[in-house]
Amino acid sequence: MPSYTKQGSSYERDMDYIPDRITQEPGRSQDRYDDARLDVRTWPVEPGRYRLVAARACPWANRSIIVRRLLGLEDVISMGLAGPTHDERSWTFDLDPGGRDPVLGYERLQEAYLARYPDYDKGITVPAVVEVASGQVVTNDFPWITHDLFFEWRDHHRPDAPDLWPDDCRAEMEEVMERVFTEVNNGVYRCGFAGTQDAYDEAYDQLWTAMDWLEERLTDRRYLMGEHITEADVRLFTTLARFDAVYHGHFKCNRNKLTEMPALWGYARDLFQTPGFGDTIDFDQIKRHYYVVHEDINPSGIVPKGPERESWLSPHSRARLGPPR
């Protein structure tokens, strides 16, 4: 889960990540960053060299789990899963026997960060890519992780992998993803962590303006960019999957439920029932993370029982808007 910093009465996402990338042409990278604090470089694409550390509870990590699955990279990049709860130090591997990741041997993801940067003092976030041999973190820059899984690992995709970044709508897709990130993905957090009524009201209004825009956009198109699934759908889905279970109540995003928006709810179920999406979702872990970790919002630590998973499996009738997947 990315960390946050408080800007006055509002909470904003801390986007200061380890900026390294894994590319087909590795070498020193000076084009995107000029950061003297970190050894900024690119790493080579090499099957078996890296381990994706994620958590099913975290929407930002959930993106990388979905993209890895859609592209068929399971045998190329291994994956370790942290448990849904953590303390201020780090995500932990408490789901694994003995509480250690079976490949890295770590109890805490923090160990991979400190293996590379002994004085690392920023958030220990998921997703993170770790080099298996050295046990060192490579990057935790979540938008670029999924971007590079598509563009840089193409030689290792399954033959029928979806085109998540289609050329013919790339510019529009970037605009859609930026608005989804700012007003929806991050918008729910700005509601939940608002420090004043005014900050909350502003975030709430922006969120629901965007949700209404999405409802209208998805009324006559199957996916955000038309007839085929793209990276934009992955990024929106992970927020929608958590909306009624967490954000509606826990983050006070309660104008209405997702289930009360016909197009968005049908769209979310359509994706959920698509291999690679719903099979990455664990509602119990999601709820345990938010309701247990956020003690300032939910001091009792009580985790709600609903809503039921079965509703996500109901017919959605979205196929009429596009060709078979």
Q: Which residues participate in catalysis according to the annotation?
A: 58, 189
Is residue 54 within 8 Å of 93, Cβ to Cβ?
Answer: no
| Range 156-179 burial, b when 16+ CB lie within 10 A, else e | bbeeebbebbeeebeeebeebbeb
Provide CB contacts within 8 A for 139, sequence distance 6+: 17, 18, 19, 20, 21, 22, 128, 129, 145
Report d(CA 241, CA 233) in Å as an integer.
12
With contact defined as beta carbons under 8 Å apart, do 21 and 139 qualify? yes
Tokens 């070498």 sit on residue: 27
Coil/strand/helix, residue 81? strand
Report the candidate in 38, 286, 285, 1 with the shortest Cα–Cα distance to residue 124: 1
* Phi, psi torsion values for 165, nearest 5 degrees: -130, 65
Place of tokens 């789901």: 95
